[in-house]
Chain A
Amino acid sequence: QQQVKQSPQSLIVQKGGISIINCAYENTAFDYFPWYQQFPGKGPALLIAIRPDVSEKKEGRFTISFNKSAKQFSLHIMDSQPGDSATYFCAARTTDSWGKLQFGAGTQVVVTP
């Protein structure tokens, strides 16, 4: 049973467009929500993360929006570039889980020129 549900499975966006990936969770004890970017043949790289006391966090072209009451969080990639083409994973963790992350299924993003 997947504790973090991620959608869509794949996404095609034109260069300059906005990519939006959504994740939902049930466990209200989750208190850390990171997003990872993974290129083929590489390990996941931490992109941006948020804690539930904040509703939005922005780093460059990447923004996390967090809705605690709806138990949802999303990643927005502004001005998408071909170099952003990768698989993106959302994840969640509780403080008492000793760092054990629960991952979403992943979203493959393709940015067309």
Chain B
Amino acid sequence: GAVVSQHPSWVICKSGTSVKIECRSLDFQATTMFWYRQFPKQSLMLMATSNEGSKATYEQGVEKDKFLINHASLTLSTLTVTSAHPEDSSFYICSPYRGVNNEQFFGPGTRLTVL
């Protein structure tokens, strides 16, 4: 399978601060990056889709000004949670995708806790 890394693996921050999460695909180039959020005991919820060099497309109900996504290269994407609040506490997972008919892999996830 593909090698995907996320950094940090967990982060605790104060309410009102911003947090940046990095996702790297280490052994392939991802034309598309998906960002998911997962609350305890729930399924994965797609937040946004981004293509390298383009603006991200956000799912309904996801605030684009709060969750900033940058997909500057084919191996790196970042998700910045701006002015984080306790309700943003969740498990964030990236999923780089190579393209049509390819398998889809996930990063190890980042646990965000906002106090």
A binds B: yes
Against B, the Cβ 8 Å flags (1 = close, 0 = not) of A7-34 are 0000000000000000000000000101
B44 at the interface (CB under 8 A from A): yes
Partner of A43, one of B42, B46, B103, B107: B107
Q: Tell me whether B104 and A101 are in contact (CB under 8 A).
A: yes
For residue B27, give the distance in angstroms from its CB to the closest CB of chain A.
15
CA distance A105 to B104 in the complex (A): 18
From the candidates A49, A98, A105, name the one contacting B103 in the complex (CB within 8 A).
A49
A89 and B111 form a contact (CB under 8 A): no
Find residues 70-115 in chain B having any chain A CB closer than 8 Å to their own CB: 91, 93, 97, 99-109, 111
A44 within 8 A of B: yes
Instruction: Give the size category of A's interface with B.
Output: 20 to 34
11 contacts between A and B (CB under 8 A): A32-B101, A43-B4, A43-B6, A43-B109, A46-B1, A46-B103, A89-B44, A95-B100, A99-B104, A101-B46, A105-B43
Q: For B109, what are the chain A residues with a Cβ–Cβ distance below 8 Å?
A: 41-43
